[in-house]
Amino acid sequence: MGRWAGQNKFHAPCDRDLPKLDFAPVSNTFYAPGEQRAAKVHALFATIARRYDLINDVQSFGMHRRWKRRLVALANVKPGDRALDVCCGTGDIAFALAAKRAEVTGLDFTEQMITVAEAKKQKAESGKLNFVCGDAMNLPFAESTFDAVTVGYGLRNLASWETGLSEMIRVAKPGGRVVVLDFGKPDSALWRTLYFGYLRLCVPVFGLVFARQIDAYAYILESLKHYPAQRGVEARMRELGLKNISVVNLIGGAMSFNYGEKTEERGCPGRSTSESQTGSGM
């Protein structure tokens, strides 16, 4: 895991818009800013890989499956399209993309998660699907390779989510869809307090019961604290020159999708263009 050290850039916490009540400082075994971030995240997912699918079902009451199907619907892949699912984990989103008869690559840096995905692939008819081990912040693909690039619950875990997003855009073809699903930050103060209370109190208990890992699931709230969620990703998509940008909130913004399309004449990742626009038509 030492190979991940040194690839990280610390970025300032972005929770100034959130009530301090929700986010009293907590130390977490699996969250560390800066150099250690990627190694800690890798250790977390290596530890929970075998129980990951079970706990997802429990903590989301099975709803994560529906949200992932929605992500795939937004990616709008056609038979023969090339699709990349970044931070693919145990492969749910990659399998759903492959079911649309796209040629799919799932990428993740935790070998143990890929191993689970490969085992699921053995049991399923999954079309053109392959899993690769790699870094979301330095994608091993040429510019303009994929018709759709997705990430589910992944950007929040990167040492630099901005770099991860730039990389997704770089490897998308002009006109390609870039779709992000993650935990969100609800606008309503009451709902946000209840929801963060659930993440703080209930989800770690599920982690303890089902994976003997309380800190692994307390990590979700800790990582969300350092992630700007739907509004920050939307602003960054605009800065990076995507078009037809939209945010879709679910359950009052507790979950959200960010959607954008790479402009036809887009230059280098990170360069803003005057083409970007906001829309809600999805």
Ligand X SMILES: C[S@@+](CC[C@H](N)C(=O)[O-])C[C@H]1O[C@@H](n2cnc3c(N)ncnc32)[C@H](O)[C@@H]1O
* Phi, psi angle pair for 130, to nearest 5°: -135, 150
Q: Is there a contact between 102 and 79 (Cβ–Cβ < 8 Å)? A: yes
Q: Of 15-23, 130-138, 226-234, 259-267, which segment contacts ligand X by CB under 6 A? A: 130-138
Each residue 74-103 as x (binds ligand X by CB under 6 A) or -, in order, gives -------------xxx--xx----------
- 78 Cβ contact partners less than 8 Å away, ≥ 6 residues apart: 100, 101, 102, 147
DSSP state of 70: H
Q: Is residue 45 part of the contact set for ligand X (CB under 6 A)?
A: yes
Q: The tokens 């770690």 sit on which residue?
A: 204
The binder of ligand X chosen from 81, 154, 178, 199 (CB under 6 A): 154
Is residue 183 close enough to count as binding ligand X by CB under 6 A?
no
Q: Output 131 or 153, the one with its CB closest to ligand X.
A: 153
Question: In terms of DSSP H, where are the helices of the chain?
Answer: 37-48, 52-59, 63-75, 92-98, 111-123, 161-171, 189-197, 203-211, 214-225, 229-239
Q: Which is nearer to ligand X, 241 or 269 (CB)?
A: 269
Q: How far is the CB of 132 from ligand X (least distance, A)?
A: 10
247 interacts with ligand X by CB under 6 A = no
Q: Which is nearer to ligand X, 138 or 188 (CB)?
A: 138
Contact flag: residue 41 with ligand X (CB under 6 A): yes
Between residues 164 and 186, which has the closer beta carbon with respect to ligand X?
Answer: 164
Give the residue carrying structure tokens 């709902």: 191
262 contacts: CB under 8 Å, gap ≥ 6? 169, 172, 173, 174, 175, 176, 178, 242, 243
Q: Which spans of this chain sit near ligand X (rule: CB under 6 A)? A: 38, 41, 45, 87-89, 92-93, 108-110, 113, 135-137, 152-154, 157-158
